Amino acid sequence: MGPYLAVIVDSFRAASASRVLWIALAAVILFLIALAPVGYRENVVTRVSPRDIVDAQRLAQRLRTDLKNPSDRPSARIAAALPETIQQQIRRSDQPQSETRLDEQAFADAFSELLQNDDAWYDAEAWQSTTRLRELRQLDDLSASQLSEDQRLRRARLRLEAGLRGAIRPRPEKTLSLTYATFSTPAEWPLSQYLFRQTLTSLVLPPILNGLLGIIGIVLGILVTAPILPEMLQPGSLHLLLSKPVSRPLLYLAKFLGGCAFMLMCVGPLLVGVWLILGWRFDLWLGRLFYCIPVYLLLFMVYYSVSCLAALQWKSPIVAALVAMGFWVACGAIGIASSYMDEWVSEPARLTGVTLTGVTLTGVSTGSLDEIDTSERESGEQVAAGQRVVFGNTRGGELQYWDQTNRRWQTVALEDYPGEVILGPVPIGNQQFAATRKSLRPFGVSGEGVLALVDADEQFAVRRGGKLPGGASRILSTSDGAVLAFGSGGVAVATAERLREGPAAEVSGGGLFGSLTRLLNSGTKDFQSVLPGEVFLQEPFQVALLASDDVILYSAGTLKRIDRQADSLQWDLVASAEVQGDVSREAVLGASATTVAVVRKDEPIQLFDADTLEAIGELQPPGDRTIVSLSGDPHSDTLAVRFSDRSGALLKTGPTPRLADLPDSLSGESLELLRYDHQGRLLAVYDHDSVRLLGDLAGPPELELEPRLSSWRMINEYLVQPLRYVIPQTGELRAETVRAALSGEDTQEFGQGMFAEQVRRQLNVKRPVFTCLGFTAVMLLIGGIIFTRQDY
């Protein structure tokens, strides 16, 4: 390898002799000098801010009860210690005509005042029954003399959180503010160090590095390295090289690798500098940063391989640079076209939920699930009673039903229900379904939160149903057609009959404040809260409905089972358990006939007995995959598991829990959804919007829906996507592989709460690497063949 290494080393020398390199390095050093003073400061969270109050009105209601019935309960002691003016406002808050409504700010100020003197309201004995976080337990173990003022205030705040569990959002011990040299930004972020580092590595660093290295570095690299090969191809230089005892393809490869030296010499110092600054200023020794060196080098190699091929053909540095830049533009254009197709055509068509009549709800069943009746029915024609109806929710926020005649999904008209996410549909009897559309934005809950009732018997006509509680983010239906709504306000229920009456008129509040208050209200005239008094819902939460209408709730690290009382719309708390691990992380929940499974990112799957919620075991998920959904078989101990890479598995939770492969008919499919229905059949959505229902896992599917492609999807499928596979995925390499390399995560999440599963996206980490490597290899192979066969 000596001769070829000599060529590569020589290229390093050539690069180091380039003025452009030194200019680039000087720019890198200036950038690093400018970046070096950036840092952060941690501030201990010792106050209560308005954003910490979950729901001011519910809190007022709770404290009002405590004030009316004084006791030694923590919440009553806190209520009694509040300033007299606040107490009066709380007492008056149940009066509809009350002019002074308590808001979050008022509570935050009052609580912050309480923190100054916790001796006035804290009593160790009274707090014995509360759930104390480890941090509070540690602080409680310290004597007064061992505590700093900040620690004392922090302890008071934690006591307040424990005493008013569910009413005050837990905050990490510290908030962060950014600093630049000795200056500090006024804004403080309630981020833990973990979240701050995650934000830094997944949201801040990637765009900065992409701008510097992915765009400026690449363009500069193309321009600077374009003359290297034409220079070698000059007769006086080339003939001498070719007269040496060296292989032509290897000489070409060595010259190519040598050309990459320039990029390496730019990328290396920049990343080492950023690594040092992150370590020094942020105490973040991010070794993963160095993964970016091969990634950006690969990105450059893609364009440089094109430049070299052009140089072989035309022997001109200008033409080589122009061709490489042209290719860069073409890659970008195809990448953008592909992204647009994904965003507007492909992604919106993906099904995130499927509802089958007669399957999801046994009480509403109009018969067993046979083949869909296709006899002579035109699109949109009235559905005969007893026919099967299949609904699908798309990621694009459309509610669709299956039109078997045309083999297409048809859209249900929900124009009056703006938003991006469909809740439901859930069957409420008589071929009627309840659904609505909501916004993902925290305060963009559009419309009035009214349920839409879709009549399959009347050409899928839509009419207004009951009004959902504010903050509801998921709806399920019970066996008798009642609708359960889950959200930050709690769990509420409405009967089918009540919903059919349409939304009840609400008492009008005052202006914007009144509207906001209504949005955050837990109950409405139509929905009544069903949670037992001792059960609160706190983000992040998840819910699983069992076949018996019993509910498993996961709420900020706590698992609860609430069972429905016979012949009533009331639920009782029957079991509770703590889930070990990081309570702030989103969880995925699933429940089979015997087992409840909970998994959070980077944690093992924790298994609990479905009846008692006793922990029965753990199972480590497969190494590099994240679980995005769990769904239990109501008749066995099996759960269907879907991973972020759209693969799936079956979780057998017997004496020895294990993950088993999916049946052959589903293996290899790109799964959009995988769950059990209430009859224990496995329902899978694959290839965007195709549906397969398996009763017998080894047998043929009971139902298979494969829709015809729309013209835009055909263009995407047969033109844009093949092009995307032919050309290297440089855009994805910059955006997704770099992001994954920096964050160490292979999924990207948008939003929080129960929507998280819908917006968790698998990052394309490996595919761009493979396409870029493959493309570069092909370019080098072609170049090597040309260089070998050509006479010079």
Partner 1 sequence: MLATSPAVSPPIVTVEDLRKTYRSGLLGRPLSALRGVSLEVHAGEVFGLLGPNGAGKTTLIKTLLGIVRKSGGRARVFGQPVGTWRSRNRVGYLPENLRVEKHHTARSALHLYGRLSRMSGAEIHRRSEELLGKVGLAGRDRESVRRFSKGMYQRLGLAQALMHDPDLLILDEPTDGLDPVGRSEIRQLLLQLRGEGKTIFLNSHIMQEVEAVCDRVAVMARGTLRGVGSIEELTAHSGPERFELVVLGDVERVRAALPDTLASTATLSIDPASTTHPTPTCFLQIQCSDAAQIDACVDALRHAGLSIRRLQPPVQTLEDAFFALVDEAHPGEALPGEATGAEVR
- Among 71, 138, 148, 247, the residue binding partner 1 under the rule CB under 8 A is 247
Sole residue written with tokens 């941090």? 135
Question: What does the alpha-carbon distance between residue 236 and residue 95 come to, in Å, rounded to a whole number?
Answer: 97
Cβ-proximal residues to 422 (8 Å cutoff; 6+ apart), any chain: 352, 353, 393, 394, 397, 398, 399, 414, 435, 436, 437
Query: 603 CB contacts (<8 Å, ≥6 apart)?
Result: 581, 582, 585
Burial class of residue 120, CB neighbours in 10 A (0-12, 13-18, 19+): exposed
To the nearest whole angstrom, how small is the minimum distance from the Cβ of residue 221 to partner 1?
A: 18
Q: How far is the CB of 311 from partner 1 (least distance, A)?
A: 15
State the nearest-atom distance from the C-beta of 397 to partner 1, in Å.
Answer: 57
Q: Is 623 exposed, middle or buried (0-12, 13-18, 19+ CB in 10 A)?
A: exposed
429 part of the interface to partner 1, by CB under 8 A: no
Name, in order, each residue with C-beta under 8 angstroms of 410's C-beta and a sequence gap of 6 or more. 379, 380, 400, 401, 402, 403, 460
Is the distance from CB of 445 to CB of 519 less than 8 angstroms? yes
* Least gap, CB of 6 to partner 1 (angstroms): 3
* Nearer Cβ to partner 1 (212/257): 257
Q: Among residues 255 and 642, whose Cβ is nearest to partner 1?
A: 255
DSSP 307-362: HHHHHHHH--HHHHHHHHHHHHHHHHHHHHHHHHHIIIIIHHHSEEEEEETTTS-G
Q: What CA–CA distance (Å, rounded) separates 153 from 167?
A: 19
**Cβ distance to partner 1 smaller for residue 41 or 239:** 239
Q: What is the DSSP letter of 459?
A: T
Instruction: Report the C-alpha gap between 391 and 410 in whole angstroms.
Output: 9
Contact with partner 1 (CB under 8 A): which of 72, 99, 415, 791? 791
Instruction: Identify the CA nearest to 436 among candidates 422, 456, 454, 415.
Output: 422
Site for partner 1 in 611-630 (CB under 8 A): none
**Cβ neighbourhood burial of 131 (10 Å; 0-12, 13-18, 19+):** exposed
- Residue 264 Cβ, how far from partner 1 at the closest point, in Å? 17
Rounded to the nearest whole angstrom, what is the least distance from the CB of residue 226 to partner 1 in the complex?
15
State the binding string over 217-246 for partner 1 (x if CB under 8 A, else -): --------------x--xxxx-xxxxxxxx
Q: Closer to partner 1 by CB, 3 or 581: give it.
A: 3
Residue (262 or 433) nearer to partner 1, CB: 262
Q: Please report, as residue ranges, which positions from 1 to 20 form the binding site for partner 1 (by CB under 8 A).
A: 2-3, 5-7, 10, 13-14, 16-17
Q: How far is the CB of 231 from partner 1 (least distance, A)?
A: 7
What is the separation of C-alpha 69 from the centre of its chain, rounded to a whole number of angstroms? 43
The CB-of-236 to partner 1 minimum distance in angstroms stands at 4
CB of 7 to partner 1, least distance (A): 8
- Residue 426 belongs to what H/E stretch? strand 421-429
Nearer to partner 1, 21 or 156 (CB): 21
Binding mask 174-213 for partner 1 (x = CB under 8 A): ----------------------------------------
CB of residue 782 vs partner 1: minimum separation in angstroms? Answer: 19
> Tokens 């053909």 appear where?
313
Distance of alpha carbon 264 from alpha carbon 375, whole angstroms: 66
Closest distance to partner 1 from the beta carbon of 269 (Å): 20
Q: How far is CA 742 from the centre of its chain?
A: 17
* Percent helix, strand and coil across the chain, each to the nearest 5: 40, 20, 35
C-beta of 32 vs 246, nearer to partner 1: 246
**With contacts defined by CB under 8 A, how many residues of the chain interact with partner 1?**
26
Nearer to partner 1, 21 or 293 (CB): 21
Binding site for partner 1 (CB under 8 A): 2-3, 5-7, 10, 13-14, 16-17, 231, 234-237, 239-247, 791-792
